[in-house]
Amino acid sequence: MLESQEKKVFDRLKDLDQDFTSWELRGQDVVDYLAPSRADIISRRQPGASKTEKIFDTTPTDALNKCAAGFMGYHTSQAAPWFGLATLNRDLMDFPDVKFYLQEVVRTLQLVFHQANFYTQMHEFYIDLCGFCTGNMFIGADPINYLFFKTCPYGQYRIAENYKGLVDVVYRAYPETARNLETEFEGESLPDDVKKALADDRYEEKFQIVHAVWPQTDVDIGGVPAMFPFQYAYFASAGGMTAGGEHVIEKGGFFEFPYAVARWSKDSGEKYGRGPGIDNMPDIKTLQKQEKSILKAGQKAVDPPLDIPPGYRTAIRTGPAGLNFRAQGTEGIRPLYEFGANIPIGADLAEQRRERIKKAFYNDVFMLLQNIQKGQMTIPELMERIQEKLIILGPVIGRLHHEATGPIIERSYGILARQFPPVLPELPEILVNQDIEIEYISPLAKAQRAAEIRTSMDALNMIFAVSEKIPNIVDNINGDEVAKDVWDLSGINQKLLNDPRTVEAIRQQRAEQQQVEQQKADMLLAAEVASKAGGALSAGATLQ
């Protein structure tokens, strides 16, 4: 039996499950009409069973996959760096040991991401985020690769938010085999039915597990050190999501919240996300109905129902070179009715809906970003064509940074920083109690920053234009800060930018050189003046 605090933790799941009821139907629609590769939410089909019986046009599924691939390739690419680290106090970036430390941390994180399963799970995460409009990834420690990642199927988890609107409570219910439970947990802590399955060699028999994580300030389950801000418990559940929970397999704590839960967008008062997969479901369902009707109309036009009068002596043969014998005077076979469907109009309407669905999943944006990668288009040309789209996509990317990639990097850094022997370099003393921020340098982030650069350049051009009439207006511009700001927005490697001391030395050298050149010019001018003056005096003496 559960202790009172343990029961309080498990019973909270019932309230969270009630909040998810209205989202189950939406989630199942996504599986049925958009993402048949994802796990069922309500329906229960056998593994390997077909899930495409409601899909007659794969355009929505293709658009979803391209959207997920676009975020994968242009936001968290495995082939190129997509983030960096910098101090919030920019002056600290001038110290070599600070730069070295941050660069080594980024290099180590990227290396571990490659060794672990981050990129495969991140692609799954994007499919959920674009389709169900909510994605959930677990970040855990691994004894071999330091980190491991798990994208949790939509419908398996329930969430709660804190007063800031951030998810800080996750309950995840999932089936697990007896073999994996024995590997993950100590054998003595497993419930009796799991132990019996292992003893009977039923290693693949599955059992329902509930993993709960919550802030320690909500409920103190007991037996967990107070130094952990978050507590967790693994419950053995006798049935579905909220059934049972009569046995605690393991409990403990986390230094960071181990789940990264991101929403595409969110309505006020709701916890789960909305976005292209849910908001465009009416278009997606209508397209499937249109395509089904067009297919039926096409079949009727190509192979119409036949009106066969009496008098035929053999079975009717409608195949190639088929011979049919009929009594003399019997009418011939003809279509049952005059087919009047206008297939081209139906096809045009369906094509219009396809284009709307593709744009809803930002396929046009990612296609243009691909043209930049291929060198077929510059960022200014891109901005001319999709600036409005990038503005709309901006809040989505901002939420993705805030709820997904940011927490993933922070949690990963925390796990690596606690490794022994150390994996990361020693933290410089100057960075103690200093804030470090994540800088995103992916193509998608650069395209967004290009809009800010363009705004800055437009403002500067206006000032320079006015300066022709009012020269003193240029005195308001701090050229060094403009250069740093544009450099930061461009996302170019900071190592290519001279530090302030180097800039000062270059300017000092230039000033000294200009002073020498000015002295030479002054001496030449003085000599020339003296020469002319001497010549004038000589000429004057001759005249006298």
pLDDT in tens, 114-133: 999 999 999 999 999 999 99
Q: Are 82 and 114 in contact (CB under 8 A)?
A: no
Rounded to whole angstroms, the Cα distance separating 491 from 478 reads: 20
- For the cut 90, the answer to whether the pLDDT of residue 4 exceeds it is no
Higher pLDDT, 392 or 400: 400
Instruction: State what percent of residues in the chain have pLDDT above 90.
Output: 55
Task: Tell which residue, 411, 495, 446, 487, has the closest CA to residue 77.
Answer: 446
pLDDT higher for 93 or 243? 93
Place of tokens 């009569």: 246
Helix (H) or strand (E) holding 281: helix 281-302
User: Does 379 score more than 70 pLDDT?
Assistant: no
Weakest mean pLDDT among 102-106, 315-319, 353-357: 315-319
Stretch 68-73: mean pLDDT, rounded?
A: 96
Q: What is the mean pLDDT of residues 451-479?
A: 78
Give the model confidence (pLDDT) of 157-190 as tens digits.
Answer: 999 999 999 999 999 999 999 999 999 997 788 9
Residue 542 — pLDDT band, cuts 50, 70, 90?
Answer: very low
- Indicate whether 205 pLDDT > 60: yes
Q: What mean pLDDT do residues 86-99 have? A: 90
What Å distances lie between residue 72 and 44, 78, 388, 515, CA to CA? 30, 8, 22, 55
Per-residue pLDDT at 491 exceeds 60: no
Read off the pLDDT band of 8 (50, 70, 90): very high
- Please give the pLDDT value at position 273: 97
What is the C-alpha end-to-end distance of the chain, expressed in Å? Answer: 130
CA distance linking residue 524 with residue 186, whole number of Å: 91
Distances (CA, A) of 246 to 96, 180, 187, 533: 56, 20, 17, 111
- Is the pLDDT confidence value at 250 over 60? yes
Rounded Cα gap, residues 356 and 363, in angstroms? 10
What b/e string do you get for 475-504 counting C-beta neighbours within 10 Å, with b at 16 or more?
eeeeeeeeeeebebbebeebeeeeeeeeee
Distance of CA 379 to the CA centre of its chain: 21
Which pLDDT does position 240 carry in this prediction?
A: 57
Give tens-digit pLDDT for 40-60: 999 888 888 888 999 999 999
Side-chain half-sphere CA neighbours of 241 within 13 A: 18
The Cα–Cα gap between 531 and 539 comes to 12
Model confidence, pTM: 0.82
d(CA 438, CA 406): 7
SS3 238: coil
Reading phi first (left if > 0) and then psi (alpha if -120 to 50, else beta), residue 297 is in alpha
Confidence check: pLDDT of 11 > 70? yes
CB 38 within 8 A of CB 55: no
Mean local confidence (pLDDT), 498-523: 84
In DSSP terms, 334 is beta-bridged to 307
DSSP string of 507-531, one letter each residue: HHHHHHHHHHHHHHHHHHHHHHHHH
For residue 381, the number of C-alpha atoms closer than 13 Å in the C-beta half-sphere is 9
- For the chain, what percent of residues have pLDDT higher than 70? 88
CB 170 within 8 A of CB 159: yes
Please state, in angstroms and as integers, the Cα–Cα distance from residue 209 to each residue in 10, 24, 89, 244, 469, following that order.
Answer: 12, 20, 45, 10, 75
Of 189-193, 218-222, 233-237, 455-459, the poorest mean pLDDT is in: 455-459
Determine the average pLDDT of the residues in 133-156: 97
Tell me how far apart the alpha carbons of residues 332 and 327 are, in angstroms, rounded to a whole number.
10
User: Considering only CA atoms, which of 215, 225, 221 is closest in space to residue 234?
Assistant: 221
Q: How far is CA 270 from CA 20, 261, 274, 315, in A?
A: 10, 14, 9, 64
Backbone φ/ψ region at 458: left (φ over 0), alpha (ψ -120 to 50), beta: alpha
Report pLDDT for 517.
87
- DSSP letters spanning 83-126: EEEEESSGGGGGSHHHHHHHHHHHHHHHHHHHHTTHHHHHHHHH
Task: Give the residue from 14, 35, 15 showing the smallest Cα distance to 26.
Answer: 35
* pLDDT classification of 323: cutoffs 50, 70, 90: confident
Q: Is the pLDDT of residue 299 over 90?
A: no
**Statement: residue 9 has pLDDT above 50:** yes
Query: 183: Cβ–Cβ under 8 A, 6 or more apart, which residues?
Result: none
Average pLDDT, whole number, for the chain?
87
Nearest to 260 by CA among 419, 436, 401: 401
Half-sphere exposure of 534 (CA within 13 A, CB side): 6
Q: How far apart are CA 303 and CA 297, in angstroms?
A: 10
Q: Are 180 and 204 in contact (CB under 8 A)?
A: no
For 481-490, write each residue's pLDDT tens digit.
777 766 666 6
What residue segments make up the domains of the chain, in order of their start? 4-279, 281-304+342-360, 308-338
pLDDT surpasses 70 at 529:
yes
How far apart, in Å, are the Cα atoms of 47 and each of 50, 202, 203, 405? Answer: 9, 19, 18, 32
The residue that leads in pLDDT, 446 or 212, is 212
pLDDT for res 340: 65
Report, as an integer, the average pLDDT of 466-489. Answer: 76
| Amino acid found at 274 | R
CA 222 to chain CA mean position, Å: 37
Spatial strand order of the sheet with 167-177 comes to 157-161, 167-177, 206-215, 230-237, 247-254
